[in-house]
Amino acid sequence: MGGGRTCPKCGTQNPPGAVFCNLCQEPFVRKSVISPRPAPMLSFNDAAAGNVRMSRFLFLLLFAAFFGLGAVIGKAYGSLELGLSLALILYAILASTAWFSGSSIVLSVHGATEADPVAHQRLLNVVEEMKIAAGLPMPKVCVMESQGMNAFAAGRKPEEATIAVTTGLLDRLNREELQGVIAHELAHVKSRDTLYNVCAAVLVGAIALLSDLFLRDTFFFRGRGRARSAGGERGNIAFLALGILLALLAPLAARLLQMSISRQREYHADAAAAGFTRNPLGLASALEKISLGGAQVPGENRGTQHLFLVNPLRTFTETSSGLLSTHPPTELRIQRLKAMAGERG
């Protein structure tokens, strides 16, 4: 085949410009493209525990930001109880909507359909193996039609969990790599990260909505606000100014905290997956292939990008801004997994 590419692993001839070998799926791009820095050996148990602690701390900060904003808005109008009550009611409404319909909406948006027992037998077998290793009930397994390589988990609790993977991922990953990906998603299920994601998203949305309501009332109904504060105390004016400042900054701060939580949960799921498979290099190899072959998914959007194994909309590298990343840099994730492999050896 003139001008074709010969696979260095199996010797198969492939078309010019091929990224993966058609037979063994070995990437043609040298793995040196991803050049992780030397790292100390890392215990996946220690890594998992550390990231859980950090994500919980960040989640508490997000709750504090939400109720702090509600309290300041209440004081601006002369009633702390009113502000806290409004915040609680708003959160309850948004949380109940996400709780009862969040998973089905995500699956529908991305065109995920239930896996066929015959066509997707290897996938179902791997999920069966990994759910036993993780000590979880069998999740519902779905497939998304896409040449990109990606996966996500959804569900309020392990008994209602769903794992969805793309057809591109099934076609290009070998069994050990697929085990690593499935173990990662089951780690999210076991750690209730799907619930964390729902709660964090609801808090971010509630903060944005609460801020918007307060700013609209302050600037579009100024007369009423002045009437309330004219007979009040000077302290109310100070709280009004503080409320305006927080309403402007809180949505951005909440979004940054949500991204930080997402990054910590991804690191934790990587570490937990290494524990389930006892083979950190399987997931590391899968991430290398995904970084070379693309992570696009059907129906990709900003509202669900943090749910996926790799962000389908944006590639995060070591030079990317950490504050604006929904995922850790893939290079660093691979580096940590290889460090865990060294620790096991």
Q: What is the DSSP string of 116-177?
A: PTTTTHHHHHHHHHHHHHHT-PPPEEEEE--SS--EEEE-SSGGG-EEEEEHHHHHH--HHH
Each residue's pLDDT tens digit, 252-271? 777 776 677 777 788 889 98
Same domain, 225 and 338: yes
pTM, entire model: 0.69
The arithmetic mean of pLDDT across residues 142-155, rounded, is: 93
Each residue's pLDDT tens digit, 167-181? 999 999 999 999 999
Same domain, 49 and 27: no
Q: Is residue 142 part of a domain?
A: yes
Predicted pLDDT of residue 37:
47
- Which residue type sits at 270? D
E strand or H helix that includes residue 6:
strand 5-6
| Residue 155 backbone class (left: φ over 0; alpha: ψ -120 to 50; beta: rest) | left
Each residue's pLDDT tens digit, 74-118? 888 777 888 888 888 888 887 777 777 667 878 888 889 999 999
Predicted pLDDT of residue 41:
46
Same domain, 9 and 60: no
Same domain, 25 and 172: no
Predicted pLDDT of residue 39:
45
Q: In whole angstroms, give the CA distance from residue 261 to residue 264.
A: 5
Same domain, 12 and 60: no
Q: Is residue 279 part of a domain?
A: yes
The residue that leads in pLDDT, 160 or 232, is: 160
Same domain, 227 and 282: yes
Same domain, 70 and 143: yes
Active site (catalytic) residues: 185
Same domain, 69 and 170: yes
Same domain, 3 and 91: no
Average pLDDT, the chain: 78
Same domain, 100 and 141: yes
Q: In whole angstroms, give the CA distance from residue 245 to residue 243.
A: 5
The arithmetic mean of pLDDT across residues 188-211, rounded, is: 80
Q: Give the structural domain span for 1.
A: 1-33
Same domain, 18 and 74: no
Q: Is residue 38 part of a domain?
A: no
Tokens (6 digits) for 195: 């619930």
Q: In whole angstroms, give the CA distance from residue 312 to residue 325.
A: 12
Same domain, 100 and 12: no
Q: How many CB atoms lie within 10 A of CB 325?
A: 19
- At a CB cut-off of 8 Å and minimum separation 6, what does 213 contact? none
Predicted pLDDT of residue 201:
74
Residue 278: φ, ψ to 5°: 60, 25
Q: How many domains does the chain have?
A: 2
List % helix, strand, coil for the chain (3-state, nearest 5).
Answer: 65, 5, 30
Q: Is residue 39 part of a domain?
A: no
Each residue's pLDDT tens digit, 224-245? 444 444 444 544 677 777 777 7
